[in-house]
């Protein structure tokens, strides 16, 4: 598996000239922020609904920036571990929400210091290579960091970080410590590519949380396939010489899109609106809960 600085491989990929901005960030200092709410599956249901509307032409291509006050989102494979339900219940008792998400990847923590970024786009004609979309998001994240911290951005390397949680080919790391992972989800006429970016707080503490979950979920069975997390492989951008607040990173990401000629406009000005409280979003969250619940 190859790795290297994406500053050495600039990606010139066409983006929509206009994109709607949906922002549900907990940091109240961020313009247009607004609370993300505590329900774990609402952000995923929101994106599923928005993606469907983009596919049918009801909504424009969109950027969704969001965070969650505290929880752990599992991948489908995680939910198959023999004691997954008990491990999730333990997290719930400690005050962390849990849910099984339907997009790719493995267990990840969610909290106010982690920014989730989703580009939600209609499918174009011709052959689609999801790697191109991953590379696009990698380059935008690197450019977002460079807005405020160019030295840190120059050190970003892409490639799977062994021992990290939710490991993948497009992990982003500085000095061998991962701060970002990327996944994707496709519908028939639209898709989204999603990244979590650990910005503020301790990456190692989050790694210890996920390692503990796997130890509880797997029990004594060591032959099972699941990520063996080494907490020291994780870090936040704040610890790596990069942006130290959610607001700083979010601003950098919006500026990175603007520098590529993308005009971000409030969803309220597009003629299309969708809220976390929309009945379709609530219903979609309930369906996801029923489909993937371990209870």
Q: What is the CB neighbour count within 10 angstroms for residue 128?
A: 12
Strands of the chain, DSSP E: 18-24, 62-66, 70-74, 97-100, 108-111, 114-122, 156-158, 172-174, 177-186, 190-198, 263-266
Q: How many degrees, rounded to 5, is the angle at CA 246 between CA 132 and CA 171?
A: 35
Q: Which residues contact 82 (CB under 8 A, 6 or more apart)?
A: 217, 218, 219, 221, 224
Q: Which residues contact 137 (CB under 8 A, 6 or more apart)?
A: 117, 119, 170, 182, 193, 195
**Does the annotation count 51 as an active-site position?**
no
Structure tokens at 126: 């011709």
Q: Indicate which residue of 59, 100, 120, 166 is catalytic.
A: 166
Query: Do the Cβ atoms of 196 and 44 come closer than 8 Å?
Result: no
Distance CA 186, CA 48 (A): 10
Does an H or E element contain 246, and which?
A: helix 246-259
Catalytic positions: 166
């Amino acid at each position: 598996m190859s790795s290297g600085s994406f500053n050495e491989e600039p990606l010139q990929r066409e983006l929509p000239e206009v994109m709607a901005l949906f922002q549900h960030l907990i940091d109240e200092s961020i313009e247009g922020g607004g609370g993300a709410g505590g329900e774990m599956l609402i952000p995923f249901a929101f994106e599923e609904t928005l993606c469907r509307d983009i596919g049918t032409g009801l909504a424009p291509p969109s950027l969704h920036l969001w965070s969650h006050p505290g929880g752990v989102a599992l991948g489908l494979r995680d939910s198959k571990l023999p004691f997954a339900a008990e491990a999730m219940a333990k997290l719930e008792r400690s005050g962390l929400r849990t849910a099984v998400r339907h997009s790719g990847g493995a267990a990840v923590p969610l909290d106010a210091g982690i920014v989730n970024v989703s580009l939600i786009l209609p499918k174009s004609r011709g052959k689609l290579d999801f790697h191109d979309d991953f590379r696009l998001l990698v380059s935008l994240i690197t450019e977002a960091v460079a807005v405020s911290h160019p030295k840190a951005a120059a050190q970003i390397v892409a490639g799977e970080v062994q021992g990290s949680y939710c490991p993948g080919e497009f992990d982003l790391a500085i000095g061998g410590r991962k701060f970002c992972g990327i996944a994707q989800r496709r519908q028939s006429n639209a898709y989204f590519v999603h990244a979590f970016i650990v910005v503020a707080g301790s990456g190692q503490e989050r790694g210890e949380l996920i390692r503990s979950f796997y130890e509880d979920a797997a029990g004594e069975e060591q032959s099972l396939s699941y990520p063996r997390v080494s907490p020291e492989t994780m870090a936040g951008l704040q610890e790596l010489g990069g942006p130290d607040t959610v607001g700083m990173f979010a601003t950098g990401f919006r500026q990175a899109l603007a520098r590529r000629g993308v005009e971000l406009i409030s969803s309220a000005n597009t003629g299309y609106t969708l809220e976390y409280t929309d009945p379709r979003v609530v219903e979609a969250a309930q369906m996801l809960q029923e489909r993937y619940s371990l209870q």
